[in-house]
Structure 1
Amino acid sequence: MSDDLDNRGPADRARVNVNESWEVRWWCKQFGCTEAQLRAAVKVVGVSANAVRQHLGKR
């Protein structure tokens, strides 16, 4: 883990981790969705952030 306090977010931003509550909150804020929507998208398309973004209709 980095000591850079300005870098707040998942270490691997290419993959959505729904097993850490703070990451779920971070991703929900990034995608503008609810936790249920995020979990459903990950279940359908997998953990790729780009695939989840596309599934949710976000840019």
Structure 2
Amino acid sequence: MSDDSDRRGPQDRARISLEQAHELRYWTERFGVDERRLREAVAAVGVSADAVERYLRANG
């Protein structure tokens, strides 16, 4: 099954994907950060949305 590029949110809201533009846009808006900061958080703690949110809050 192919990804629907018109989707507004991620396919799996528990895991962050940085591969699809619509998902990248969703997560940067969700956390209120730019792409660089989101990529930094994912590199630091992995793709778990909960872990990324905790990281961003702790490292404001």
Global fold match (TM > 0.5): yes
Query: 1:21, CA displacement in angstroms?
Result: 1.4
Which of the two has greater helix per residue?
2
**TM-score, normalized by length of structure 2?**
0.80
Runs of 5+ unmatched residues, structure 2 = 2-6
Aligned length: 53
Q: Structure 1 vs Structure 2: percent identity of aligned residues?
A: 49
Indicate yes or no: 2:33 matched with 1:33.
yes
Q: How does 1:5-24 map to 2 (within 5 A)?
A: 8-24=8-24
Q: Superposed, which structure 2 residues align to 1:36-51 within 5 Å?
A: 36-51=36-51
Consecutive unaligned residues in structure 1, runs of 5 or more: 2-6
Shift of 1:8: 3.6
Question: What's the TM-score once normalised by structure 1's chain length?
Answer: 0.81
Distance in 2 separating the partners of 1:11 and 1:19? 12
